[in-house]
Structure 1
């Protein structure tokens, strides 16, 4: 086996089914680092980051941690504000990722679930990238079914994301969620088996 886990980046645009695929990976025993979940923990009550967030975005925190609606109103659609928030969050998320790797250093395969991989982080440090994708009509149907979603908000979100076609073109693997869940699960299992085997047979030197 290689000296370290094979690191697969998992990404996909809104409504493509990335969360479902991440759960399939967990059920196969693959450790998954969820960047969004890490952010939620770091914005919860008692987090050491809250004073910095409040100082930069007044009124965005309270006794229960970050007030998501208030913070979202201050950063949504404002790239400069989003960059200021990321400057606070990213170092702490990176520390959480290091701790995750230390915990799962003996696994043959780990996954970094990064929603805005191409938009923000890029594939640096990853061995491969898998993009979760579905037909545009199915994506729209899923997203518009979410509470509080509007056509305008959906359009704004899409405008901030790299188009799905470009993500698929740049990815090493594409996971299709436009089929039945069973078909997607089988494709995920096949990918996991292949990557585990690849790492097992890799030259550790």
Structure 2
């Protein structure tokens, strides 16, 4: 693993088969047990090129998504799709039954109230995901088909790995930062107390577990300008791999 702001596990490899061999060698796992194998075998040679973008709360994932959008990548904002699902009557009823009427404001789901419940408790978050997940997958598939003529599609979601969506991807980008930066940003930009922020962080998957599954990692500990430079370098690599996989 290269020690860089962006480190690339498959830096100079030319085909998805070579990348697969490298990943299996790194992990010492048989082909059948490798999520990487599941990811790249059926999808790597098709168009469009499907990239996953994930990361925990307050690491700068949305900023990276915006930079990629400016590079002409098509962004599928999975979190926004999830917000749309909350307005479906059957989902709304299940959420009220599960979490109570306190999640409502003017008879509609209040996302901030729901967030306070699910992001402070891993069990509640798992319950929410179980309710929303099947409907969300249908929306994601629809969006991918709708943008099937695009060159690069970026699936932007905090829960790609938790929902096993990485099996649909050609490559996975993980955005991360130091625990200190994450806590500082969460308190500052979400107006949470330190204790509330710590609860939200602890309810999410450990950052290192996501890094271990990543093809590209962006470390966002510095300025917005420094982050953009990393994205610029990363996008060049994505374009290179996109062309290589079509040869």
TM-score bucket (shorter structure) = 0.7 to 0.9
The counterpart of 1:5, out of the listed 37, 45, 48, is: 48
**Pair 1:8–1:163, CA change in 2 (3 A):** same
Q: TM-score, normalised by structure 1?
A: 0.83
Segments of structure 1 that go 5 or more residues without pairing to the other structure are none
Q: Equivalents in 2 of 1:147, 1:112: separation in Å?
A: 24
Residue 146 of structure 1 aligns to a residue whose secondary structure is: helix
Residue 185 (structure 1) aligns with: 228
- Quick one: which of 76, 96, 99 aligns to 1:57? 99
Other-structure match for 2:193: 150
Q: In angstroms, what is the RMSD of aligned CA positions?
A: 2.6
> What is the CA-CA distance between 1:17 and the residue it aligns to?
0.7
Contact in 2 for aligned 1:53/1:61 (Cα 8 Å):
no
Question: In the aligned structure 2, how far is the partner of 1:122 from the partner of 1:3?
Answer: 17
1:112 matched residue in structure 2: 155
**Larger deviation, residues 72-81 vs 26-35:** 72-81
Segments of 5+ residues of structure 2 without an aligned counterpart are 1-44
TM-score (norm 2): 0.71
- Name the counterpart of 1:38: 81
SS at match of 1:118: coil
Out of 109, 115, 131, the residue aligned to residue 66 of structure 1 is 109
Of the candidates 39, 62, 65, which is equivalent to residue 22 of structure 1? 65
Give the total of aligned pairs.
203
What is the rounded CA distance, in whole Å, between the counterparts of 1:74 and 1:176 in structure 2? 29
> For residue 34 of structure 2, what is the aligned residue in structure 1?
none
Partner of 1:175: helix, strand, or coil? strand
Give yes or no for contact 1:108–1:200 (8 Å, CA) kept in 2: no
The answer on whether the counterparts of 2:51 and 2:171 sit within 8 Å (CA) in structure 1 is: yes
